[in-house]
Amino acid sequence: MAGKKQIESAVSAQDPLKQKGLSVTDSRRKILQLFMQQKGALSHGDIEKKAGATFDRVTIYRTLQTFLDKGIIHAIPSANNAILYALCHEQCGPDHHDHQHIHFICSRCKHTFCLDHSVTPDLHLPKGYQAQDIDVLVKGVCKRCNTTSK
Amino acid sequence: MAGKKQIESAVSAQDPLKQKGLSVTDSRRKILQLFMQQKGALSHGDIEKKAGATFDRVTIYRTLQTFLDKGIIHAIPSANNAILYALCHEQCGPDHHDHQHIHFICSRCKHTFCLDHSVTPDLHLPKGYQAQDIDVLVKGVCKRCNTTSK
DNA sequence: GTAACTGCAAAATATTTGCATCCTT
DNA sequence: AAGGATGCAAATATTTTGCAGTTAC
């Protein structure tokens, strides 16, 4: 058991799946990869498109749910029907999500980004209200769309 | 018919429907009333429950869409499938939505409130990003749940 | 009277569940 | 070998669309 453990830990650094005690399967690896490449948020539909017919629609549902449960990804609120998902950071666990970053939705290219370096507002809630978790959604024009031609 | 007209115009002051040039119908009046009573956000499903079998599910879809278009209500982002809607304020128009308030989701009673008196953050976006619209979602415990027994 | 709104039916989408099979550990 | 994950089929749920009848103005 000792030697095996060493190998696992060598791989696990790059593999959130093992860290969270999940079996490493093609679909999970692939979907995870999509998130890492994209460096932005994806909807179920996005994944389906990008993954092509690689695997079943149901598998995507289940995989996303599993990732959510394990704290590998988080859901980003949106006002249109499509729920978006993006990778969590290390400090997130199954129960504890700590996202002090801002979700930025570009109104031009429609991409959603997580901006980590932004500061969270200081809120002035009315008396009696107790904040536990804050999510900031900003709509606007992203860096790329801003610099490329209008 | 003359007497009827007088009654109608007396009502219109409090009636956003006429202000926006919409026909005043039972369903619209009823749904508007639900929002005003509730003083909180409602999902399509909430309305369906509260309205009972008063009118068709399709009418609710269409009414909500119409209200959105006219700027009578606004959609509140959420991370679960249910989209919420709440009344807009006077300064909102069809194109221009100005919601500098905070959307507060109570994790205990599951209600969503619009807190108007809260201040909007100063954001520090990375260079190149241009903000147009900001929405702040706060999860926590609302006033009522905080004061009533634990 | 006319344009707009509603209800009903049905189509199109989206999501969930059960079960047999296959894969990871 | 055993437990978990996937694929397929099918059951549900949600949202959209078309059209005929009704209502507001």
pLDDT > 70? residue A8: no
Which CATH number goes with the domain that contains A34? 1.10.10.10
CB distance B118–A137 less than 8 Å? no
Q: Is the CB of A12 under 7 A from strand C?
A: no
> What is the DSSP secondary-structure string of chain B?
-HHHHHHHHHHHTT-HHHHTT----HHHHHHHHHHHHHTS-EEHHHHHHHHTTSS-HHHHHHHHHHHHHHTSEEEE-BSSS--EEEE--TT--SS-----SEEEEETTT--EEEETTPPPPPP-PPTT-EEEEEEEEEEEE-HHHHHS--
How many CB atoms lie under 10 A from the CB of residue A41? 25
Percent of chain B with pLDDT over 70: 77
| Helix (H), strand (E), coil (C) string for A51-66 | HCCCCCHHHHHHHHHH
| CB-based burial label for B20 (10 Å; 0-12, 13-18, 19+) | middle
Q: Is the CB of A80 under 7 A from strand C?
A: no
How many CB atoms lie under 10 A from the CB of residue A58? 8
Tell me what pLDDT residue A29 has: 95
CA B24 to CA B15: how far, in whole Å?
A: 9
Greater pLDDT, A22 or A97: A22
Type of residue found at A7 = I
pLDDT > 60? residue A91: no
Identify whether the C-beta of residue A77 lies closer than 8 Å to the C-beta of residue B77. yes
pLDDT > 90? residue B26: yes
Q: What is the mean pLDDT of residues B20-34?
A: 94
Q: What is the mean pLDDT of residues B61-73?
A: 95
Residue A122: DSSP 8-state: P
Lowest mean pLDDT among A89-93, B125-129, B140-144: A89-93
Q: Which of A121, A142, A144 sits opposite B136 (nearest CB)?
A: A121
pLDDT > 70? residue B2: no
CB distance B129–A142 less than 8 Å? yes
Task: Let me know the angle formed at the C-alpha of B111 by B109 and B112, rounded to the nearest 5 degrees.
Answer: 145
Give residue B10's pLDDT band: very low, low, confident or very high (50, 70, 90).
Answer: very low
Please give, rounded to a whole number of angstroms, the shortest distance from the CA of A97 to a CA of chain B.
12
CA B36 to CA B18: how far, in whole Å?
A: 16
> Measured in Å, how far apart are chain A's first and last C-alpha atoms?
59
Q: What is the mean pLDDT of residues B33-49?
A: 91
pLDDT > 60? residue A119: yes
Instruction: Give the structural domain span for A115.
Output: 2-148
pLDDT > 70? residue B121: no
Tell me what pLDDT residue B92 has: 52
Q: Which of A75, A76, A134 sits opposite B138 (nearest CB)?
A: A134
CB distance B140–A126 less than 8 Å? no
Q: What is the pLDDT of residues A20-47, one digit of tens each?
A: 999 999 999 999 999 999 878 999 999 9
Nearest to A123 by CA among A115, A113, A114, A133: A133
Strand bridging mode B102-106 / B130-141: parallel
Please report where in the chains the tokens 């679909």 appear, as a residue.
Answer: A27
**Could you give the 3-state DSSP secondary structure of residue A67?**
helix
pLDDT > 90? residue B84: yes
Q: What is the mean pLDDT of residues A109-119?
A: 80
Protein-covered nucleotides of chain C (CB closer than 7 Å) are 4-10, 14-18, 23-25
pLDDT > 90? residue A62: yes
CB distance B134–A138 less than 8 Å? yes
Tell me what pLDDT residue B133 has: 84
Give residue B12's pLDDT band: very low, low, confident or very high (50, 70, 90).
Answer: very low
Q: What is the mean pLDDT of residues B114-121?
A: 70
Tell me what pLDDT residue B47 has: 95
- Helix, strand and coil content of chain A, in percent to the nearest 5, comes to 35, 20, 40
Q: Which of A107, A117, A137 sits opposite B135 (nearest CB)?
A: A137
Identify whether the C-beta of residue B138 lies closer than 8 Å to the C-beta of residue A123. yes
Tell me what pLDDT residue A149 has: 57
Q: Is the CB of A116 under 7 A from strand C?
A: no
Percent of chain A with pLDDT over 70: 77
Largest CA distance in chain B: 63
Number of domains in chain B: 1
Q: What is the mean pLDDT of residues B69-74?
A: 93
What radius of gyration do chain A's Cα atoms show? 18
Tell me what pLDDT residue A12 has: 47
